[in-house]
């Protein structure tokens, strides 16, 4: 008797057996018994009879044939990609990976990545839950597939979430991800101008919470109301600041400001950083240069910049630098280096706001 000949097409498609039904034979097991028992034998806690053991063994054979008898690897199995790669990536970012349990409240699943979370559009591979709300969707693919083009699937799950705690237009989940275990693509769908981009790791629950609680549009409005009237600022430097802020308002993430030697590039950027920090558009800024002497120059520029109420920049905002040596500064210059605390990088808090020339 050829068992699979009598199976319905949905079952064959679901287990990937339609190509193999002519070669699968099991004279002791009827299709009806296979179908009626398929839920039972997947539960290892249930005691199996000899008959159900045969059914379970047959299911294993069927499942393994999905890879054309090739041993499953992350390259040809999405499930293995998730278990061997993606789960560990989520855990490294502070998420607890757990299966979906019907009836379990979201308030009991803080910092959880819930597997196979149900939506109207089908189950999402992972739903990121924090503070009783689903705030992220992760779409997983096997290692050999590029994840960028499957962000649209995460968008469907975001739209199909039932009774979402958040709402952003047609979407119920703001932060979307797609990954194949090596590359991660991310899209924040709260703002129409936001573009999807590649990131190196998943955001932590704290990072998503901080982003969710920030009103970026309000911060931009505050930025535009700040007068850009520093007495030392030259007209072309003000134009450079205006161009940077316009690009930020358009959600651009990479900008190149080209200025000739001696035209005050460092001061232009110090002034811009002050405006971004004061308005709340930016909270943490890395000022990176390629030589120690330039880093020392940047420290001097920040320390001499007039900020609020006659105070210098480094007295208004926390400022940290690399490990300098005294000879990096002039003989008459004050040498007061502040090293960035490791906790600011390893365990950042939402309230941390600082600038770090490096």
| 41 and 103 within one domain | no
Same-domain pairing of 92 and 182: yes
Q: How many domains does the chain have?
A: 3
On average, the pLDDT of the chain sits at 78
Q: How far apart are CA 271 and CA 18, in angstroms?
A: 66
Q: pLDDT band at residue 136, thresholds of 50, 70 and 90?
A: very high
CATH number of the CATH domain containing 334 = 3.40.50
- Same-domain pairing of 206 and 245: no
More confident residue, 256 or 169: 256
Q: Domain boundary residue among 213, 248, 272?
A: 213
Q: Count the Cβ atoms, other than its own, within 10 Å of residue 320.
A: 17
User: Residue 127: pLDDT above 90?
Assistant: yes
pLDDT the model gives residue 187: 94
- What is the domain extent for residue 14? 3-67
DSSP string, 238-262: HHHHHHHHHHHHTT---------TT
Same domain, residue pair 310 and 269? yes
State whether 221 and 337 are in the same domain.
Answer: yes
- Find the mean pLDDT for residues 130-152: 90
Rg (Cα) of the chain, in Å, rounded? Answer: 28
Let me know whether 110 and 46 are in one domain.
no
Query: Could you tell me the pLDDT band of residue 219, with boundaries at 50, 70 and 90?
Result: very high
Q: Is the pLDDT of residue 275 over 80?
A: yes
The two tokens of residue 303 are 């320390």
What is the pTM (predicted TM-score) of this model? 0.69
User: Do residues 50 and 82 both lie within one domain?
Assistant: no
Which of 176, 198, 213 terminates a domain? The answer is: 213
Does residue 93 share a domain with residue 63? no
73 assigned to some structural domain: no
pLDDT interval class at 320 (50, 70, 90): confident
Q: Looking at residues 286-298, what average pLDDT do you find?
A: 84
Residue length of the chain: 358
260 shares a domain with 328:
yes
CATH label of the domain that carries residue 184: 3.90.1570.30
Cβ(358)–Cβ(322) below 8 Å: yes
One domain for residues 197 and 235: no
Domain final residue pick, 194, 213, 232: 213
Q: Considering only CA atoms, which of 155, 162, 150 is closest in space to residue 137? A: 155
What is the predicted pLDDT for the residue at 153?
Answer: 92
Do residue 148 and residue 245 come from a single domain? no
> How far lies 143's CA from each of 65, 71, 90, 188, 225, in Å?
19, 15, 16, 24, 48
Compute the average pLDDT of residues 52-67: 54
Residue 72 within any structural domain of the chain: no
- Residue 263, helix vs strand vs coil: coil
């Amino acid at each position: 008797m050829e068992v699979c000949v009598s199976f319905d097409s949905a079952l064959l498609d679901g287990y990937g057996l339609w190509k193999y039904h002519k070669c699968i034979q099991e004279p002791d097991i009827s299709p009806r018994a296979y179908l009626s028992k398929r839920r039972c034998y997947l539960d290892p806690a249930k005691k199996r009879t000899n008959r159900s053991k045969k059914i379970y063994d047959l299911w294993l054979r069927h499942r393994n044939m999905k890879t054309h008898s090739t041993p499953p690897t992350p390259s040809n199995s999405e499930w293995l990609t998730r278990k061997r790669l993606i789960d560990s990536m989520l855990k490294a970012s502070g998420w607890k990976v757990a299966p979906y349990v019907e009836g379990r409240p979201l308030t009991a699943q803080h910092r959880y990545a819930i597997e196979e979370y149900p939506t109207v559009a089908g189950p999402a591979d992972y739903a990121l839950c924090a503070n009783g709300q689903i705030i992220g969707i992760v779409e997983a693919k096997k290692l050999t597939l590029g994840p960028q083009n499957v962000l649209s699937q995460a968008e469907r799950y975001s739209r199909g979430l039932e009774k979402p705690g958040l709402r952003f237009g047609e979407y119920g989940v703001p932060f979307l991800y797609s990954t194949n275990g090596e590359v991660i693509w991310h899209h924040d769908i709260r703002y129409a101008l936001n573009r999807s981009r590649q990131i190196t790791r998943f955001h932590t629950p704290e990072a998503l919470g901080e982003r969710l609680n920030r009103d970026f549009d309000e911060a931009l409005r505050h930025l535009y109301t700040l007068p850009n009237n520093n007495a030392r600022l030259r007209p072309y430097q003000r134009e450079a600041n205006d161009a940077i802020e316009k690009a930020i308002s358009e959600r651009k993430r990479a900008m190149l400001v080209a200025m000739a030697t001696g035209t005050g590039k460092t001061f232009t950027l110090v002034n811009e950083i002050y405006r971004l920090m004061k308005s709340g558009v930016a909270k943490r800024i890395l000022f990176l240069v390629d030589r120690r002497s330039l880093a020392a120059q940047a420290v001097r520029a920040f320390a001499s910049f007039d900020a609020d109420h006659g105070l210098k920049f480094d007295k208004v905002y926390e400022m940290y630098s690399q490990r300098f040596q005294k000879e990096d500064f002039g003989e008459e210059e004050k040498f007061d280096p502040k090293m960035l605390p490791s906790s600011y990088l390893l365990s950042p808090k939402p309230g941390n706001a600082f600038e770090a020339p490096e």
